[in-house]
Chains A and B, each alone.
Chain A
Amino acid sequence: MIRKKILLIGDFNVGKTSLIRRYVDNTFDDRYLTTIGVKISKKKILLNDEECELLIWDLEGATPQKSIPKTYYGGASGAILVGDVSRFETIKNLDEHMEVFKQINPNGSYVIAYNKSDLLKLDQIKSLQNIENVFLTSAKNDINVEKMFIALAKEIFND
């Protein structure tokens, strides 16, 4: 079976853990319990009739005091860069996260999640739609979560 490592990268509290829990266990929790270090979850998917396994790395978020340790990045095939639409600076920081990821994994694929989209008004959603590689997700309301993971997996496996 083919197995691939993918990372969830972004600032603290943007919803990385929540996106994974939604995708893997289909659950959501309103409470915030910050991640320290890393936790790996597994998810089997069918792509082109072939069973593959994603090893999803839930990394601790970047904080103003501390960036994400680079040792976690190695050997990843893909990444989901997660920002929180209600905190603009977390979206702004995505470029920086992406650069680190690409530097360590030049052939890695990535997609971008603008998470907590349930907090946006309709006209705001419209203005953010159709940006390349960007998924407006909500771990809370289960919007675009699976679609995004599958899109990333397809990109990885097509390479």
Chain B
Amino acid sequence: MTNIQIILNTILSKNIFEYLLIDRDLKVVNTSVGVLKYMENVPYEGDDVLMHMPEFLGFEEKLKEVFEKKDFTYTFKTIQKNGYYMNISLDHYNHDIALVLLQNITKMTQAQQQLLQYSNETTLLYHALQKIIDAQNSLLFVTNSDDRIEFANQTFLHYFHAENLDEIKAKALKLYPYVNKNIKSYNELHKHIRGSEINLNIGNDTFIMQSTAIEETHRLFTLSRVTDIYEKKKSLEAEVEVDALTSVYRKKYFDLRLEQLLKEENNFALIVVDIDDFKAVNDNYGHTVGDDVLKEFAFLLKKNIRQDDLIARWGGEEFLLVLKMDDLQRAMDRTETLRKMLDEHTFKHIGHLTASFGLAWRGQCDCDDANSLLQRADKALYKAKNNGKNRVILKKLEKRGENCIV
């Protein structure tokens, strides 16, 4: 007994090791004083070792082997106990006594823990970024110094019918010939794009391609499908800017376009159209028929103007037109043709219907803005209604001295 304690005490003086001695019945025989700091309860002689060292549960057979085999040693690594980290080893001393050695590795393990923490968090971040990259609509890929694709996102894999990245790597996919036959590498392609963007056609798809350098060696290429963007934009536009009932533009969009037209040096007529006696249609036939009439009316107007003319609904039974014409007389003639067309048309449900037209000509005067044009057209419409409806009236821009009067 004394021998082993002398040996042990020398090691223990370094404050790294503590020990328990146990007998064949797995009872505590003796302990170092310092062992206390690792334990929940003070270990007394005769205590069941499992009480203090639950780590040994399930290893009872191994514990018994240690008394038989001379060179036996068994180690549990990195056990956290009472706020300390330790390695616990079990060594043969003689047939009656085994040595449980607790090696304090707290400092070293805390450093390892910090490294592991950093590594795990980095892995999580990498996974999160990967998810974000995969969720992009654009095709992304990265090339390396060997001019090969090293990474590609899910959208890219999907577009080129690849199950995984390895397939793409194996294919040694080359996209630069699609851009220009003279480009012989991704690196050249990167130089070719040089910070701006180019169009790239693959099959029926058009992409906008951009390139970014990552470090000296890698290049990130992004391909955004133009067809996608274009179609999305169109359907969004349609949803936001078109009147649900009549499928012509809403006033808000018409205003935007009108502002644009005014900036350009075009001649055009702005016309307000109002269906005559529309209230009677609603009163006599009901609102469902009224809605049908509005639809048919808008459809007829739209069909009889040109593509780059404009039509919008201005609430109720009132519509707005822009007819692009070189001179006023021809604009008047065309408007008259529209009036006549409606007058002669047989509408579903109700048969005959007429409309009144108020026209304003876009004058070359500084003060002739969208507002004044609309006001003139509206005044003209008022006059047309008062003069017996079913007619086209023009309201001219009055010029008195330097000031324009609407």
- What residues of chain A have their CB less than 8 Å away from a CB belonging to chain B? 3-5, 12-13, 32-40, 42, 55, 60-61, 63-65, 69, 71-72, 74-77, 87
For residue B113, CB closer than 8 A to chain A, the reply is yes
Please give the distance in Å from A113's CB to the nearest CB on chain B.
19
CA distance A42 to B82 in the complex (A): 13
For residue B58, CB closer than 8 A to chain A, the reply is yes
18 contacts between A and B (CB under 8 A): A3-B50, A3-B57, A12-B120, A32-B120, A34-B116, A35-B80, A36-B80, A36-B112, A36-B116, A37-B85, A39-B81, A42-B54, A55-B54, A55-B57, A71-B75, A71-B77, A75-B57, A75-B58
- Residues B123 and A37 in contact, CB atoms below 8 Å apart: no
Q: Which residues of A contact B117 (CB under 8 A)?
A: 32-34
CA distance A54 to B79 in the complex (A): 17
CA distance A21 to B372 in the complex (A): 74
- Residues B59 and A75 in contact, CB atoms below 8 Å apart: yes
- What residues of chain B have their CB less than 8 Å away from a CB belonging to chain A? 50, 54-55, 57-59, 62, 75-81, 85, 109, 112-113, 116-117, 119-121, 123-124, 127
* Chain A residue nearest in CB terms to B76: A71
Please give the distance in Å from A15's CB to the nearest CB on chain B.
13
**What 5 pairs across the A-B complex have the smallest Cβ distances?**
A75-B58, A37-B78, A39-B80, A36-B113, A5-B58
- Residues B58 and A63 in contact, CB atoms below 8 Å apart: no
CA distance A33 to B80 in the complex (A): 14
Known contacts A13-B124, A63-B123; A3/B54 CB under 8 A? yes
CA distance A61 to B121 in the complex (A): 13
CA distance A69 to B76 in the complex (A): 10
- Residues B58 and A34 in contact, CB atoms below 8 Å apart: no
* Besides A37-B80, A77-B58, 5 new A-B residue pairs in contact (Cβ under 8 A), listed by A number: A37-B77, A37-B78, A40-B81, A60-B116, A64-B123
- Residues A32 and B80 in contact, CB atoms below 8 Å apart: no
CA distance A55 to B54 in the complex (A): 7
- Residues B59 and A37 in contact, CB atoms below 8 Å apart: no
* SS class, residues of chain A in contact with chain B: loop
- Residues B127 and A36 in contact, CB atoms below 8 Å apart: no
CA distance A49 to B299 in the complex (A): 84
- Residues A74 and B57 in contact, CB atoms below 8 Å apart: no
Please give the distance in Å from A83's CB to the nearest CB on chain B.
14
* Chain B residue nearest in CB terms to A40: B54
CA distance A3 to B57 in the complex (A): 8
- Residues B55 and A36 in contact, CB atoms below 8 Å apart: no
CA distance A11 to B231 in the complex (A): 43
* Chain A residue nearest in CB terms to B121: A32
* Chain B residue nearest in CB terms to A58: B80
- Residues B120 and A13 in contact, CB atoms below 8 Å apart: yes
CA distance A87 to B126 in the complex (A): 12
CA distance A40 to B77 in the complex (A): 13
Among A5, A33, A42, max chain B CB count under 10 A is at: A5
Q: Which residues of A contact B81 (CB under 8 A)?
A: 39-40
- Residues A36 and B119 in contact, CB atoms below 8 Å apart: no
Q: Which residues of B contact A76 (CB under 8 A)?
A: 58
Q: Which residues of A contact B78 (CB under 8 A)?
A: 36-38, 60
- Residues A63 and B119 in contact, CB atoms below 8 Å apart: yes
Q: Which residues of A contact B55 (CB under 8 A)?
A: 40
Q: Which residues of A contact B50 (CB under 8 A)?
A: 3
Q: Which of A37, A60, A77, A87 contacts B127 (CB 8 A)?
A: A87
Q: Which residues of B contact A63 (CB under 8 A)?
A: 116, 119-120, 123
CA distance A77 to B78 in the complex (A): 21
CA distance A47 to B81 in the complex (A): 28
Q: Which residues of A contact B75 (CB under 8 A)?
A: 71
CA distance A38 to B79 in the complex (A): 5
CA distance A16 to B223 in the complex (A): 41
Please give the distance in Å from A79's CB to the nearest CB on chain B.
12
Q: Which residues of B contact A77 (CB under 8 A)?
A: 58
CA distance A87 to B109 in the complex (A): 28
CA distance A32 to B114 in the complex (A): 12
CA distance A63 to B112 in the complex (A): 14
CA distance A69 to B87 in the complex (A): 14
Please give the distance in Å from A52's CB to the nearest CB on chain B.
12
Please give the distance in Å from A135's CB to the nearest CB on chain B.
24
Please give the distance in Å from B90's CB to the nearest CB on chain A.
12
CA distance A39 to B113 in the complex (A): 14
Q: Which residues of A contact B116 (CB under 8 A)?
A: 34, 36, 60, 63
CA distance A71 to B81 in the complex (A): 17
Please give the distance in Å from B53's CB to the nearest CB on chain A.
10
CA distance A76 to B57 in the complex (A): 8
CA distance A23 to B77 in the complex (A): 25
